[in-house]
Chain A
Amino acid sequence: MKDSLPVPARIGVRAGRRAHARDKAPPGEPRAIGYLYLLPALLVYGAFVLLPLGHSVLLSFYEWDGITEGTWIGLSNYQDLIADPQTRAAFLHSLVLILFYSVLPVAIGLLLAALISRTDLRGLTWFRTILFLPQVVPLVVVAVIWSYIYAPGAGPLNEGLRAAGLDGLTRSWLGDFSWALPSVGLIGTWVQYGLCMVLFIAGVQKIPTSLYDAARVDGAGPGHEFLAVTLPNLRNEIAVALTLTIIASLRNFDLVYLTTKGGPGNATSVPAFEVYNQAFEVGQVGFASAIGVVLALVIFAITGVVNRIAEARE
């Protein structure tokens, strides 16, 4: 157990030695008292997070409609989940959405952070606030605004394309089988880039200016400077941004529910939407739980990999 003590506890050991030099018992003992301090938080955490989590795992082994007695069916729900093309497609869609919710916002955030931190702009706070704004608008409002923008008849997007003479590009964005998913994804990009940008601007500010000076003395242009100084020093911020946005993309429910309800056909269905649909609309609570559990595992796995990579380079 000792080797796995988290870092702050180890610091505590060292500090304790000096303070209680005369005590015979090892510092930090009795250990049990520590768990007593943890108890209140653990109880709340257990009741509202662990218990429901465990309950969902348990439900996923049952065929249950939410009312009558459930039947234990072992792993059948998981087999169905793999066999059902519609559920598989939902997971695939959420992987596509990572591109729009995570990769694109991080790229845009980096670009904006590099631009803003390089220039000595008047009214910088203003620009930062405006660029961050999408992040604070409630998602329901976001969905309503974008449904309007994408509307096929008089929507601003199609109107704009027509005004530019690009009539051939106009389409029923949310009703088109090929374009609905990217259209929903772009809403996510718009929502998420502000968070990434703010994280990166904060990160850039703590990079010592001496590094930039050194790079400039060595004759680095803006591009080199970005690659050699800014990017490596933002590694931790990028890991945090990726973790947060990937989680947001995988558990995405609200935007799909509010814009397309998974349509047209099933072109934009995502796992979280399927959980809702199966549990509340179809009445297959066990199957819904199985999707939820798999979704949680996928989120753990992907964010785990992202953090592994970030730590490994450190």
Chain B
Amino acid sequence: MLSGRLSIRCLSALVALALALVACGSVTPGSSDDGGAEQPQSSSTSLPKEDVTLTVWDQEVRGGQNAQIEQLNNEFMDEYPNVTIKRVAKSFTDINKTLKLAVSDDNPPDVVQANQGRVVMGQLVTGGLLRPLDDYAEAYGWAERYSPTLLKLNSFSADGDQFGTGNLYGLSQVGEIVGVYYNKNKLAELDLALPKTFDEFVDALETAKQAGEIPIQFGNLDKWPGIHEFQAVQNEFAPKDYLRQFVFGLGDVSFATDQNTEAASVMQQWVDSGYFTPGFNGVKYDDASAAFTRDEGVFLITGTWQSPLFGDEMGKNVGFFLMPPAQSGDDPVALGGEGLPFAITTGSDQPEAAAAYIDFITNEHAAKVITETGGLPAPKGAPSVPGGTVLGDIFTAWDQLNATDSIVPYIDYATPTFYDTITASVQELMADRVNAESFVDTVNQDYSDFMESR
């Protein structure tokens, strides 16, 4: 073993050497980006005639997602034989971690899937690494393809500071909504009709509890499902315009409102009444979903991405509805969004071909391909699917939400640290560690810190 003096001397020599090596390179991190500032010039819908290779980074790696993107890629290459698509498929986690390095490279991919929100898309826009697509949007008529909220989710101001406004930076293929799945047999056994109002839903929970059932199957060990549970209730109290202002950081809004406090205390009442799976903070999301397919639990609140699983396992026994509004007949409001948008990098030397590709994978034909592979297309005008299935329920709900523009974005988009804050706070709220007032105060602290720092 080295003597103490020697090891200290060695250590300091090594640290000095390391610092010297670092100093050889450029010192300020991120200082050498020069390609970002140029503004795009041309924007036509015609493709170049010479041979072109498009490098596309996507995360459509699972089952039906993979099938649809491969089919569309091949069809695109058949239609434009001089274009070759070099596909780089990565998982969602993987793409989020490697995207920044790849996009800031001298030779970046042409098309990338860049996650919505400030942490990924916002920072890429600030760095001048994504190309605004408004010229192409006009040339191709993309504004008619999507409902306004869906376009806003993929928009930022040119400096990346304002979310949900300014330039369009990407288009998404698929939509998603968070709603209520229900077990049809259980509902029939309990002699319950589909709830038409929020009060009827709460009555149904109580009836289920009295009958010894788990009213809402729920697992929150993964932390993020709590966001969906909370927002499903929050939408009943907080108006949709307020929530959009809040998420996009527009105007002087706060999280510490009476409506949010009311929503939080309703959540806590549900916990205290035993409406959720016992010990839910220690139950995995996947385990809760699996339990639901084994007829444990009457309702389950989650996103449409679970419909293939429930459809396969439960067949006609599962249905889907949007959390019902306070008054019967009102338009329901739901938490929702869209898949990761396909964006064009500033460093791409083939923006024309890239735009044509993005157009191709989000057009009416693409919507048909996505539907056939079990997905929910985000663009309007998707073909209808047979009623009576869970997918049929979802398509109806999606159309209804888009027609009334009633989709509310995920609140964890609000600040870079909001995901951490809201997930931890919902776990504390639902474990009765804090009351509704201090829950909204904690969450609001995160929000106001961020708003002040901008």
Contact = CB atoms under 8 A, between A and B. Distances in A.
Contact of B19 (A6, A58, A67, A69): A58
B270 interface: no
Given A51-B21, A277-B420, A308-B4, A62 B223 contact: no
A175 B22 contact: no
A222 interface: no
Given A62-B28, A177-B433, A172 B14 contact: no
B331 to A, nearest CB: 34
Interface stretch (B187-195, B360-368, B391-399, B423-431): B423-431
B283 A175 contact: yes
A172 B279 contact: yes
Contact of B126 (A68, A172, A280): A68
B119 A50 contact: no
Contacts of B21: 46, 50-51, 54
Interface stretch (A92-100, A122-130, A144-152, A227-235): A144-152
Contacts of B19: 54, 57-58
A266 interface: yes
A69 B20 CA distance: 21
Contacts of A6: 2, 6
Contacts of A282: 119, 416-417, 420
A54 B279 contact: no
B321 to A, nearest CB: 26
A151 B223 CA distance: 15
Interface in A1-24: 4, 6
Q: Interface centre among B18, B28, B127, B427, by most A CB within 10 Å? A: B18
A283 B279 contact: no
B123 A69 contact: no
B419 interface: yes
A3 to B, nearest CB: 9
- Central interface residue in A70, A72, A152, by most chain B CB within 10 Å: A152
Interface in B277-310: 277-284, 287, 291
Contacts of A264: 220, 281-282, 424, 427-428, 431
Interface string A82-108: 000000000000000000000000000
Interface in B68-96: 96
A64 interface: yes
Contacts of A51: 18, 21-22
Interface bin, chain B: 35 or more
B424 A50 contact: no
B433 A58 contact: no
B29 A64 contact: yes
Contact of B281 (A147, A263, A308): A263
A175 B282 contact: yes
Nearest to A158: B279
Given A66-B100, A70-B29, A153 B278 contact: yes
Nearest to B296: A153
Nearest to A311: B1
B283 A172 contact: yes
Given A50-B14, A282-B416, A67 B123 contact: yes
Most buried by B among A55, A265, A277, A308: A265
A263 B287 contact: no
Contacts of B127: 67-68
Contacts of A147: 221, 284
Nearest to A286: B29
Interface string B413-454: 000110110011101100101000000000000000000000
Nearest to A70: B29
Interface string A259-300: 111111110000000000100111111000000000000001
Nearest to B288: A153
Contact of A173 (B96, B282, B291, B433): B282
A175 B123 contact: no
A175 B30 contact: no
Nearest to B126: A68
Contacts of B126: 65, 67-68
Given A151-B287, A172-B278, 5 more contacts: A70-B30, A153-B291, A173-B282, A283-B123, A311-B1
27 contacts: A50-B21, A54-B22, A58-B19, A58-B22, A67-B104, A67-B126, A68-B33, A68-B123, A69-B29, A69-B30, A69-B33, A72-B28, A147-B284, A151-B287, A152-B278, A152-B282, A172-B282, A172-B283, A176-B282, A263-B281, A264-B431, A265-B427, A265-B433, A281-B419, A281-B420, A284-B416, A307-B1
